[in-house]
Structure 1
Amino acid sequence: MAPGQRPLLHRILATLVAAYLPLVPQLATAKSCTMPLWACAKAGYWGGGLAAALLQRLGRDSGALLQEATDQGHANVWLSLSAAPAEVYEALGPTDELLGFSADSLLRMRVEDMGPQACSNVLLACSRLRYSRGDLLHHLTACLAAQPPAANHQAFANGLYALGELCEDCGHTPQPQDLRRLAAGVVGLLQAPQCSVSRGGYTAQAVSNMLLGCSKLGYSDPALLHPLAAAAGQAAGRMNEQALANSLYALGVLGCKDPAYAPAVQCLAAEVQQRLQQQPDVFIPQALSNILYALALLGCKDSAYAPAVQCLAAEVQKRLQRQPGAFKPQGLSNVLYALALLQPECGRQWSAVVELLAVECKQHSFAGFSAQGVSNSAWALEKLGYRSDQGLFAAAVVAAARPDMMRAFTAQGLSNLWLALARARHRPVAALLEGTIEASELLRTQATGQGCANMLWSLATLGAMYNRRLVDVLVKRLWELLPKRGELNGQDMANSLWALAAMGPDALFRYRRFVEQLLREVVGRWNELDPTAVGDGGVPFAPAALVQLWQVQEELAHADGCGELAGILAAAGGAAGSQQGSLLSAMQQVAIEDRGMVDGAMSDFQRQVVTGLGRLQRRQHLSEGVSSIASVSGEQVVEGMVGRVDVVVELAGGRRVALEVDGPWHFLANELHTRDRDGSTQLRDRQLERLFGVGNMVSVPYWEWGQLGRDEGAQEGYLLRLLGLAEDKR
């Protein structure tokens, strides 16, 4: 109907309603009520009091009139009520009792009494009304699934879509056998020539709706998804923009990464790109975010998808510049998460859009974000290199630490949030730690091996943030998961061991039984592998993990009660049938290579300190004929250390001092002007103090050096005091 004709239609209906309304109390058939009700709903006309009068007549005498209604008559009632605007629906009065009468009548109908269209229409109405009476929904689904293959294909499509909506909104789960039969019916119709998308059977919208329904049901049976995805690819050019977005989103959520889905995904992505190039504004913000999110979940990182991804990112940027606030919180989170997953190929070109997204998140203090949205956004922003604005991470922490938000977190969400904070070197407020501790039962029962390992690593990296009760929970969970193959990879084990080592000797001693089991698992995995492939894709003991294990080995050798544990890695041989050396030798070799990678390079800050020490040495020689500093060596390789020591100073009496020049990365980014170093730096300091002796390891925080300015005398005085060669009169 043309928009201009609606007023005329409503005037005609008003005349008819005025004549029909007095007759309603005496209406003797259900059809006399259901047909006018449906006509008014279809026309969007709710005036004159007719709808309320018809419903009242249908509900009189415990719904006696409804008992004679046909399946389509019942469907008309349900669809009419589901189409009523909210304010009209409230004015209609209580409808639950009437719907109950109708549901009872429908439940008494046999399969042969129920047509596919009526079944699907009532299911659609239930989804819109969020009506979750289980026996009715199961009965309707069973009746729809039992229809012969020649049944109306649109009814099958609507039914599958409605079940998805009911699952998402009401938690209704169809009976597996009914869902399988319904899926088989859909497949049969897809494969029937007269019902194929290309022959005018299923509409493009129906295909998209079925994919969306499957995603909300979590139904990922390839027997249905393969032909359904293929149909979506064929229909891409006929889909509207929302259907395109929904189709890709559904495939992404269902994890359709198998190569069999690639042609369909490529067709859909190409269609998105073409429309963006022809008419950029045609996609609403939610559709843009859902498409990007889907492509990320589908792993669309190769060159075939790059143009579409770039178009989407550019369009998001334009929308944010033109209309701040256009994206809802979930959309912002999805875009950030997608861009992070689609790195690194295009990441450098996204700095402008990432900046705009970060501004949106911070300005609104993550208001309206779900727990997962806060976690995903913080994780993505750090992953995208956005670490400089600590206020952003502070806002994320405040939002996450609210009691209602903490209760909504999943174990994975908590782990990802802590990982993001640790990588950004942001120490959160105590409330987040307290809330995480309160979520101990969730972590103990639901955390994955990787989640536990990442959280341990994060707590250790943030220095004093780890809590004994929380670490107990994480270790216990890891202990349970360790025997289950596939739960922990090599990096997870290395992260867990390194975290306990970074927490200090007391942590290694307290959890020594777990550490022993973890070490033996590391050795077992090493012996099963071909060590010639170490560092290759798919092999769990990459160089980073071996470096961590070397640091753990050094700590075990000096932790009270853990000396025998150091022998576990030391005794590990090479893999069977291989000429590769022992695990220990591999760890040592990687540690040596790690030292070599620095190649003697000095930062400008480090060079200033070395220059100041050399100048101090020369000045003492000139003025006193002898210097308290015998030698100064920058970038010194020291046996037992991973990486080079920034400066080794040998004093006149033979005393050697390790001097570390600590830039911002050694400190927590939101607590820069304190002496609280991150866990990695604390571990380094302990190892240096063991190698050089107590009191022979010192550091120069960058802000203390910066306060000295270019005053050479002040710099030399500072270095003398630092080395214990002059009285500290500050």
Structure 2
Amino acid sequence: MAAVQAALRAAAAAAAAAAAAVAGEQAGALHPAQITAAIRYCSTAEQLVVLIQQHVGSMDVRHLATAKMMLSRLRCRQPQAYAACVQHFAQFATADTPRNLSNVVYALCKAPAFNRQEHQAALQQQLMPASICHLSAANAQDISNVLYGMAFSGQQLQGHQMQQLMAAFADVRQQAKPQEVSNTLWAVATMGQQVPAAQLQQLLTAFVGVLQHAVPQDFSNTLWAVATMGQQMSSQQLQQLDDALAGTLQRASPQHVANTLWACAQLQFLPKRLLAAPGLAGLLQAGSAQGLANAAWACGQLGHRDEQLIGVVLTEVQQRLTAASSSSNTQALCNTCWAVAVLDLQQHAAQVLQMAQACSSMWSSTTAEEKRQLWQVHTWLLDFQPAGAQGLQGSLTEQQLQQCRAAWDKALQQTARQSGSDFQLSVLAAVHRLPITWQQQPQMEQLSVGSDGATTDGAMLLDITGRTAGGVLVAVEADGPSHFRRPDGGLMGSTQHRNRALAVRCYRLVSVPWFEWAKLQGAEQKQQQKQQQQQQQYLVRLFEQAGVLSPAAA
């Protein structure tokens, strides 16, 4: 009992000293426990600034780290307070612990934006080198905090610094929490860098191992990071994340879900559990216009024809436009229009016209990609609306439509100038060996013709196209991995859209999946003749299925 009473008296004394110090009534030196109590006692930035001014000289590294964290948390806008802590901390930096160093880096990076620039030199010249020197003693949280803080504040790391930090994090990955893994990957992606493939797989394996402790933001940040870095996850890893995330959806924010859908679309993975989750549309509806549009874009990209979700997005975007909400922008509008077109949701054509008209009124902010999206929407409307329809004419001005066409044509020209892949060249050679009489020999990278079967309309650039002696238009598409989603092998949205557009133009489509063609590739020269025979037999079957050849021709 006596020990407890003594502890209470000590705590009361420390609290009294803290209150006096914060009030500026105690100018004498404080002992460490009093400084700690005083920092925690501060409830306003002004109180903390007074404390720092009077007692910074008595603060040790832990006090300085805590003080800077509190300055950031209290949104202090007085740069002198940050500067005083940084200058005093510099005396200890090289001999400090990884935890204190990471806390200081994190606190400075999370400081209000106006202050970050002033601390850049200290971060780059003192704190980062010191942090790297202490990596052998750092744990996962220490390293993650440093990387996350630097990325959050817009800082960059030199290549060798990033390599050292990532190697050290990979070494302690088994002790890392889900947030530490996801924040680390997010930081690397935000800084525009990549993780070496072997390290990435180590970190993803570690993340999957602690999924039961992950929250929606951890899933979202991890997927977003991998997609943004342009790297890959296995279908099994993605499936595990989809299964686990579906169980935490009630704790997810609209942004977490929208970012997850966007990332899955970039990774060509259909998150069936997430998309089937009850209340998904309502959750997204509570988010931003950009988040709604990203969800629609993801559905379009993955060829997921969710009419309820798209309907919610369209209604919400329209309502916000009607309310003149500044949250609607051309990117959100164009992504939504494009998704409707790619998914062939013709019942929403009128809403698409209204959204395109909204784009017309803020045309100066449209990008080349958005103009290409609008041109695809325009051609879709012309293809599938009743005769006499004018597409986006009337929603966009003639000049705006011309700009959309120019952006589309430029992209096709750039693609046409690229050399054909070995896959395409191999398929073309096999097509030429088929028992078909051609009016127009099959050629690569030709523009499509319109529904009249003769006039070039430039809606698509075809891998291989020709016309048989009987006048049949044939499109042979060498469909590589980008045309197929995981895990079910279904066609991506753009590929489904292409197939419908080819049918409208009276093409007989022959799709050659890369994985089927790969089975027919021989490794040895002596197998070449057998390989060609197998390829020809395979193509004959595909041409028969497309109605170009009759079974008798085989």
2:464 aligns to what SS in structure 1? strand
SS at match of 1:488: coil
Report the equivalent of 1:568: 351
Deviation at residue 410 of structure 1 after TM alignment: 2.1
> 2:476–2:512: 8 Å Cα contact kept in structure 1?
yes
Q: Provide the alpha-carbon RMSD of the alignment.
A: 5.1
Q: TM-score, normalised by structure 2?
A: 0.70
The equivalent of 1:508 in structure 2 is 306
Query: Is 1:497 aligned to 2:296, yes or no?
Result: yes
Displacement of 1:308 in angstroms is 2.0
> Offset at 1:428?
4.6
Contact 1:411 1:451 in 2 (8 A): yes
Match of 2:374 among 583, 588, 596: 588
CA distance in 1, matches of 2:447, 2:70: 54
- Percent identity, please: 17
What letter corresponds to residue 426 of structure 1 in structure 2? Answer: Q
Does structure 1 residue 305 correspond to structure 2 residue 119? yes
1:479 aligns with 2:282: yes
For residues 400-439 of structure 1, what are the structure 2 equivalents within 5 Å?
Answer: 400-402=207-209, 405-423=210-228, 424-428=230-234, 430=236, 433-434=239-240, 437=243
> Aligned partners of 1:590, 1:210: CA distance in 2, in Å?
63
Q: Which residue of 2 aligns with 1:282?
A: 95
Structure-2 residue corresponding to 1:190: 22
Counterpart of 2:279, as a letter, is K
Of the two structures, which has the highest relative contact order with CA contacts closer than 8 Å and spacing of 6 or more? 2
Q: Does 1:200 align with 2:28?
A: yes
Q: Do the aligned residues in 1 keep the contact of 2:268 with 2:485 (CA within 8 Å)?
A: no
2:464 maps to 649
Distance in 1 (CA, whole Å) between partners of 2:78 and 2:443 is 66
Q: Is the CA contact (8 Å cut-off) linking 2:45 and 2:75 kept in structure 1?
A: no
Deviations 1:180-206 (A, max 9, x none): xxxxxx3x75344x42xxx43667875
Distance in 2 of aligned mates of 1:356 and 1:229 = 36
Match of 1:247 among 38, 43, 67: 67
**1:199-238 alignment runs, 5 A limit:** 199-200=27-28, 206-207=34-35, 209-211=37-39, 213=40, 221=43, 224-232=44-52, 235-236=55-56, 238=58
DSSP-derived class of the 2:276 partner? helix
Specify the code of the residue in structure 1 equivalent to 2:153.
Answer: L
For residues 410 and 85 of structure 2, what CA distance do their matches in structure 1 show? 45
Stretch of structure 1 that moved more, 230-239 or 353-362: 230-239
Once residues 646 and 708 of structure 1 are traced to their aligned partners in structure 2, the CA distance between those partners, rounded to angstroms, is 29
C-alpha contact 1:293 1:337 (8 A) present in aligned 2:
yes
SS in 2 for 1:695: strand
CA contact (8 A) 1:230 1:261 kept: no
From 688, 696, 699, the equivalent of 2:498 is 688
Aligned partner of 1:295 in structure 2 is: 108
Residue 570 and residue 309 in structure 1: after superposition, are their counterparts in 2 closer, same or farther (change >3 A)? same
Unaligned runs of 5+ in 1: 1-62, 67-72, 79-117, 124-143, 145-151, 159-185, 531-537, 668-673
Question: Offset of 1:471 from its aligned partner?
Answer: 2.2
How far off its partner does 1:542 sit?
4.9
In the alignment, does 2:428 pair up with 1:633?
no
Question: Residues of 2 paired with 1:638 and 1:235: CA distance?
Answer: 79
- Equivalent-residue separation in structure 2 for 1:388 and 1:227 (angstroms): 43
Question: For this pair of structures, how many residues does the alignment match?
Answer: 491
Q: Which residue of 2 aligns with 1:554?
A: 341
Displacement of 1:238: 4.9
Deviation of residue 522 (structure 1)? 1.0
Q: How is 1:358-437 mapped onto 2 (pairs within 5 angstroms)?
A: 358-364=166-172, 366-387=173-194, 389-402=196-209, 405-423=210-228, 424-428=230-234, 430=236, 433-434=239-240, 437=243
Task: Answer yes or no: is the 8 Å Cα contact 1:631–1:649 preserved in 2.
Answer: yes
Deviations 1:532-566 (A, max 9, x none): xxxxxx754253x344223312134x2xxx43234
Task: Quote the residue 2:548 is aligned against.
Answer: none
In 2, the alpha carbon distance for the partners of 1:500 and 1:239 equals 55
Q: What is the Cα deviation at residue 251 of structure 1?
A: 3.4
> Distance between the aligned counterparts of 1:281 and 1:305, measured in 2?
17
Give 2:85's aligned residue: 268
Q: Please give the TM-score of this superposition, normalised by the length of structure 1.
A: 0.55
Question: Of the candidates 128, 132, 135, which is equivalent to residue 317 of structure 1?
Answer: 132
Question: Are 1:207 and 1:228, in contact at CA under 8 Å, matched by a contact in 2?
Answer: no
Partner of 2:395: none
Question: Which whole-Å CA distance do the structure 1 matches of 2:288 and 2:111 have between them?
Answer: 23
Write out per-residue CA displacement over residues 116-162 of structure 1, whole angstroms, 9 at most, x where no aligned residue: xx54x2x4xxxxxxxxxxxxxxxxxxxx5xxxxxxx6x43366xxxx
Residue 342 to residue 569, structure 1, CA distance change in 2 (3 Å): same
Please say if residues 424 and 478 of structure 2, whose CA atoms lie closer than 8 Å, have aligned partners that are also in contact: no
Summarize the alignment of residues 668-707 of structure 1 with structure 2, pairs less than 5 Å apart: 682-693=492-503, 695-696=509-510
Contact residue 427 and residue 478 of structure 2 kept, 8 A? no
Q: 1:629 to 1:367 in 2, by over 3 A?
A: same
Contact 2:446 2:465 in 1 (8 A): no
Q: 1:590 to 1:315 in 2, by over 3 A?
A: farther
The verdict on how the C-alpha distance between 1:400 and 1:363 changes in structure 2, with shifts beyond 3 A counting, is: same
Deviations 1:364-396 (A, max 9, x none): 4x1111222122223333434454533333333
**Which residue number in structure 2 is paired with residue 99 of structure 1?**
none
Partner Cα separation in structure 2 for residue 244 and residue 508 of structure 1: 53
Per-residue deviation at 1:630?
5.2
Q: Report deviation, 1:516.
A: 1.5
> Matched residues in 1 for 2:532 and 2:28: separation?
87
Q: What is the CA-CA distance between 1:683 and the residue it aligns to?
A: 2.1
Report the CA distance shift for 1:529/1:498 in structure 2 as closer, same or farther (over 3 A): same
Counterparts of 1:377 and 1:638 in 2: how far apart (Å)?
Answer: 50
Cα drift, residue 413 of structure 1 = 2.0
Q: Does the aligned pair in 1 maintain the 2:371–2:408 contact within 8 Å?
A: no
Q: Are residue 541 (structure 1) and residue 345 (structure 2) matched?
A: no
Q: Deviations over 1:81-129 (max 9, x none)?
A: xxxxxxxxxxxxxxxxxxxxxxxxxxxxxxxxxxxxx54x2x4xxxxxx
Q: Please say if residues 419 and 454 of structure 1, whose CA atoms lie closer than 8 Å, have aligned partners that are also in contact.
A: yes
Shift of 1:298: 2.6
Which residue of structure 1 aligns with residue 316 of structure 2? 521
CA distance in 1, matches of 2:212, 2:320: 37
In structure 2, relative to structure 1, the CA distance for the partners of 1:546 and 1:316 (3 Å cut) is farther
SS at match of 1:372: helix
Following the alignment from structure 1 to structure 2, what is the Cα–Cα distance between the partners of residues 576 and 465?
Answer: 30
Q: Distance in 1 between matches of 2:414 and 2:522?
A: 24
Return the alpha-carbon distance in structure 1 between the equivalents of residues 262 and 61 of structure 2: 43
Are the equivalent residues in 1 in contact too, given 2:438–2:466 (CA < 8 A)?
no
Aligned: 1:354 with 2:162? yes
